[in-house]
Amino acid sequence: MKRIALLVMLMLALTVSAAFAETLTVNIWDNNQRAGIQQICDEWSATSGIDVKVDVIDWDNYWTLLSAGASGGTLPDVFWMHSNTAQMYMDYDLLLDLTDYVAADDAINLDDYYQGIVDLYTRDSDGKVFALPKDHDTIALLWNKAIFDQYGVEYPTDNWTWEDMYEAAKQITEKSEGNVYGMAMNTSNNQDGWYNLIYDYGGNVVSDTHDSTAIDSEGAKAGMEMMRKLLTVGAPQTVVAETGTENLFKSAKTAMISQGSWMINNFYTAENHEDYFWALLPYADVNGNGQADDGERWSCYNGLGWAAAFNTANPDAAYSLISWLCAKEQQIKQAELGVTMAGMPGVSEAFANAFPGMDISAFLAAEDFNLYMRPYTKMTTVWEDPIQQAGGFLDAWQNPEDPAIMEKACDNAAAIIRDAIAQGY
């Protein structure tokens, strides 16, 4: 009996010491960023004496694990938040309230960051802050020079309209006799794809106040009509869904895809990366004057937030790490290391130089035009997936020849979003 008691005490002692050990657990979902994040965290460890363990969990499992951890009270100490789910976590007080910390912190001034991202992580009802902006991303057009050369098509320029992109895609698809697709886009390429056309033509997916949609407005329908035209000269949806646009592009089966800045490293490290070039996302010349005016070229932007668990054992250390990661110096460092662009404007120039041999300035140039925050509501996934599937835009993607189906899809999508908002999602 004595021996058992001793063993129990020993185990207890171990558990207790583990709980008080100076280690913070950090969860992220992007393996491309792990090394850079770990490096910045290690520098924090050197000043604070607290170790940081960065774990990568892929996107889908990340949210399953995080919500399970939230239910069971076992969240990681510090982790990423995303616009799809942030509102939900904030509403249920699962994130550490950072308001007082921020107020007392000289290194952090919320006015320095992209306002849309700050708003995203601020609770509407009481103005409390639950996460600090980690980064922001923009969208650009990725094209394969070798394919343009092979079929003698003029290269994309930073002054391209969507019509120009259509013409080029059409030439490539026709000249290659369908062997290579001029462009490829799936219904799931929303933020990095068709959302942008909707905004270019004057529509929106979710309003700035996150409580209505204009996805069935005249502008949105004009944008999606342009999208439909592009699809008629692009890869069929079944091919895109089975293979994925990145794989089609990397295997030189498609000449153009649109991509977000978080994907740069993926293409930078690809086999034929010397053929890959980035251009500004095309614009919609709505007024027909031959140049991109205000409101004619939009890029979606989104920003992750660094948040801490509401019940973290060491809230002071957790905030100290978040503050470190979001302070100007580390934001610049993050850009220099090529992890991502910063969560504050004006410090991302270093990011352009993080990929020697590849010109990624298009992502920074996009910021000189209009940016809109990734559309979100309280629970974005409730409508975001259905509008990409049958009964939503998938119907139109399947039948790009018929404009009526695309128009109907816009109406259906609007109904899905309105229904979700009405239900409090």
Partner 1 sequence: MKEPSLKKMTAAEKTEAKWAWAFIAPTMIGLIVLNFYPAVNTVWQSFFKSDPFGRGGKFVWFDNYKTVLAASETWQSLWNTIKYAIIEVPFGVVIALILAVFLNKKLKGTSAFRTIFFLPMVCAPAAVAMVWKWLYNQQFGLLNNVFHTNIAWISDPKIAWISVGVIGVWSVIGYNMVLFISGLQEIPGDYYEAAAIDGATGIRQFFHITVPLLSPTTFFIVQTRLIGALTIFDLMFMVMDKTNIALKSVQSIVYVFYTYAFTQNNKGYGATVVIVLVAFIMIVTFFMQKLEKKMVFYN
Long-range contacts of 387-391 (CB under 8 A, 24+ apart): 387/187, 387/215, 387/412, 387/413, 387/416, 387/417, 388/187, 388/188, 388/190, 389/187, 391/416
The stretch near partner 1 (CB under 8 A) out of 240-248, 260-268, 292-300, 401-409 is 240-248
**179 sits near partner 1 (criterion: CB under 8 A):** no
The stretch near partner 1 (CB under 8 A) out of 43-51, 196-204, 248-256, 264-272 is 248-256
Q: Rg for the chain (alpha carbons), in Å?
A: 23
Q: Which two tokens stand for residue 16?
A: 């207790």
Q: Which two tokens stand for residue 346?
A: 């004006």
- The least CB distance from residue 232 to partner 1, in Å, is 17
Of residues 67 and 370, the one with the C-beta less far from partner 1: 67
The stretch near partner 1 (CB under 8 A) out of 133-141, 309-317, 335-343, 375-383 is 375-383
Do 90 and 97 form a contact (C-beta atoms < 8 A)?
Answer: no
**309 sits near partner 1 (criterion: CB under 8 A):** no
Do 133 and 113 form a contact (C-beta atoms < 8 A)?
Answer: yes
- The least CB distance from residue 307 to partner 1, in Å, is 15
Using CB under 8 A, which of 191, 302, 323, 388 touches partner 1?
388
Measured at the CA of 141, the angle between CA 137 and CA 143, to 5 degrees, comes to 135
The stretch near partner 1 (CB under 8 A) out of 38-46, 137-145, 232-240, 290-298 is 232-240
**312 sits near partner 1 (criterion: CB under 8 A):** no
Using CB under 8 A, which of 188, 330, 331, 334 touches partner 1?
188
Do 51 and 45 form a contact (C-beta atoms < 8 A)?
Answer: yes
- The least CB distance from residue 423 to partner 1, in Å, is 10
Do 284 and 200 form a contact (C-beta atoms < 8 A)?
Answer: yes
Q: Which residue, 137, 140, 124, 126, is CA-closest to 80?
A: 137
Q: Which residue, 262, 259, 326, 210, is CA-closest to 59?
A: 262
**295 sits near partner 1 (criterion: CB under 8 A):** no
The stretch near partner 1 (CB under 8 A) out of 193-201, 218-226, 367-375, 388-396 is 388-396
DSSP 223-269: HHHHHHHHHHTB--HHHHHHH-HHHHHHTTSEEEEEEEGGGHHHHHT
**244 sits near partner 1 (criterion: CB under 8 A):** yes
The stretch near partner 1 (CB under 8 A) out of 5-13, 218-226, 260-268, 381-389 is 381-389
- The least CB distance from residue 115 to partner 1, in Å, is 27
Do 234 and 256 form a contact (C-beta atoms < 8 A)?
Answer: no
- The least CB distance from residue 293 to partner 1, in Å, is 34
Binding mask 90-129 for partner 1 (x = CB under 8 A): --x-x-----------------------------------
Subset of residues 57 to 76 that bind partner 1, contact rule: CB under 8 A: 63-64, 67, 70-71
**248 sits near partner 1 (criterion: CB under 8 A):** yes
DSSP 37-77: HHHHHHHHHHHH--EEEEEE--HHHHHHHHHHHHHHT---S
Report helix, strand or coil for 163.
helix
Do 198 and 409 form a contact (C-beta atoms < 8 A)?
Answer: no
Of residues 207 and 423, the one with the C-beta less far from partner 1: 423
Using CB under 8 A, which of 394, 396, 410, 416 touches partner 1?
394
Do 270 and 214 form a contact (C-beta atoms < 8 A)?
Answer: no
Of residues 20 and 92, the one with the C-beta less far from partner 1: 92
**286 sits near partner 1 (criterion: CB under 8 A):** no
By the criterion CB under 8 A, which residues form the site for partner 1? Answer: 63-64, 67, 70-71, 88, 92, 94, 186-188, 237-244, 248, 251, 253, 379, 381-382, 385, 388-390, 394, 397-398
